[in-house]
Chains A and B, each alone.
Chain A
């Protein structure tokens, strides 16, 4: 009898403790980031979309080889003095896994990942991107250097 009374009292106390926890949280300020009005700055290492400095690219194909999903495709043309320049360079966001391997293998730092993360679209073909086009990401808001 005494034990069951004790059980009941500890039970009720545990319930009250739980209520206190939720009640306290009720009056702490919300941790919500009100997204469209407030935006968080992306960290330095943030891996957004793949971007390219075309002038730095030496068409070595390292990034294309390193890509685990074959989302990058490149062709080049040979200029006279053994120098290669990129002819086409396409990037398929649909396949990209944002792993950053291409960025890491690039010997000249031509390919890098920018800070764009708000990439929503109605049409799928907008996800197939010509990296040599300077206005390629204009549709999506971004703050990364051009």
Chain B
């Protein structure tokens, strides 16, 4: 299915979603996430593969990005949720897609996005007692040596 077709289908079901400027991503409000996830997992869209979860720190907001892929229909979808920079919280998708478990842990580890009802809400890449969220733009570490700029 083409991206526009997917979007039209989703728009009919969830009127509050929008399309992001410049990209083909779909933006949804964060409270819709679980419902949205359950909808796209089943027919007619069958996004059976949550391919990637990540975040982008845009200073004034944090974009949470989900990339879905459908094996039988071979189409993909990029989903975005805008979160506030202070203590971002969102529902976990781990109950629907198992792959979300580790991907969300990673996002929590690096960006500090808290996933509610996550089965294993620990850090994953950094040591369990690590302080701060390294991929935030305002992060600073004690042993951080910046490359000299020319």
State if A and B touch, Cβ cutoff 8 Å: yes
Residue numbers of A with Cβ under 8 A of B are 61, 64-65, 69-70
Contacts of B150 in A (CB 8 A): 61, 64-65
> Main SS of the interface on chain B?
loop
- Tell which of A61, A65, A69, A70 has the most Cβ of chain B within 10 Å: A70
Residue contacts A-B, CB under 8 angstroms, 6 given: A61-B150, A64-B150, A65-B150, A69-B147, A70-B147, A70-B148
CB distance from B146 to the nearest CB of A (A): 10
Contacts of A61 in B (CB 8 A): 150
CB distance from A90 to the nearest CB of B (A): 13
Render B109-148 as a binary contact track against A, CB cut-off 8 A, 1 for contact.
0000000000000000000000000000000000000011
CB-based nearest A residue for B150: A65
4 closest Cβ contacts across the A-B interface? A70-B147, A65-B150, A70-B148, A64-B150
CB-based nearest A residue for B147: A70
CB distance from B149 to the nearest CB of A (A): 9
CB distance from A106 to the nearest CB of B (A): 16
Contacts of A64 in B (CB 8 A): 150
- CA gap between A64 and B147 in the complex, in Å: 12
- CA gap between A65 and B149 in the complex, in Å: 8
- CA gap between A70 and B148 in the complex, in Å: 7
CB-based nearest B residue for A68: B147
- CA gap between A61 and B150 in the complex, in Å: 9
- CA gap between A70 and B150 in the complex, in Å: 10
- CA gap between A65 and B150 in the complex, in Å: 7
Contacts of B148 in A (CB 8 A): 70
CB-based nearest A residue for B146: A70
